[in-house]
Amino acid sequence: MNILVTGGAGFIGSHTVEALLQRGHHVTVVDDFNDFYDPSIKRRNAAVFRGQVKLVEADIRDAARLRDVFAQGRFETVIHLAARAGVRPSLAQPQLYTEVNVLGTLHLLELARTFGVHKFIFGSSSSVYGVNQKVPFNEDDPIFKLISPYGATKLAGEALCHVYHHLYGLDMVCLRFFTVYGPRQRPDLAIYKFTQAITAGKPIELFGDGSSLRDYTYIDDILQGIIACVERTFGFEIINLGESQTTSLRDLVAHIERLLGRKAVARMLPAQPGDVPVTFADIAKARQLLGYNPQVKIEDGLPRFVKWFKGQA
């Protein structure tokens, strides 16, 4: 199968590309290698599959450049993972987040329609749930309390996906990822930042009182869900991909301390605007439709991450 992966040099994207190649698919990667974090990190990720894919350095806001990619690619499936990510940065740059995450998604959907792509898989986020009073979060929960531009752009992307399914019959699945971690994790995310700071004997910043809860999901489990979507037909579906287990910020730090054999020096700071108190995935739908069965609990996944992190030094 000919597959386009946008954001294919990023954390989730590079693992997805590897998994597709292992299954014999032909893959084209689009990534703009922007400076949200050190671009050399993405280039190292892409080096893993150099020579096995067609790698196009392009911005998804550039519709003309994307058109050339689609004209040459004859894609059957698009896995759209490119995005400006992160809740807190979106508060500072809402226009950029909207341009990339909404307009960029629209460009890809329109080109998928134009060039007869059969399947479109959209990487969404648990951030769309906002301050959801009911836990665990179910795909049918009403969504009225988004609290970040990032979450709003992802919800807008889901809405556009539904439009293109309804009008043009694209087979469409929107995957709501819950706090993904593992080897190659972005350096701006908590697990990486805490591990790096504690290792170096530097302070870590903890926002709030340490009680916030996250459904940390190991990359291998996320890949299980993405690959299942490639191999199945849906019509239109929104599906949570999480571990369905929450860990408090306080406990996360304690886990990392034990693995590193060092105590953290913590700076307690006020809770940040846009941060939600809890994320917690109801994965019954993923189990039913995808055969999804996450295997890596935080107690097993963190040691794998730390081992990888130490190997980068």
Catalytic residues: 150
Q: Find, among 209, 176, 222, 217, the residue nearest to 277 by Cα.
A: 209
Rounded Cα distance between 108 and 4, Å, is 10
Contact (CB, 8 A) for 192 and 232: no
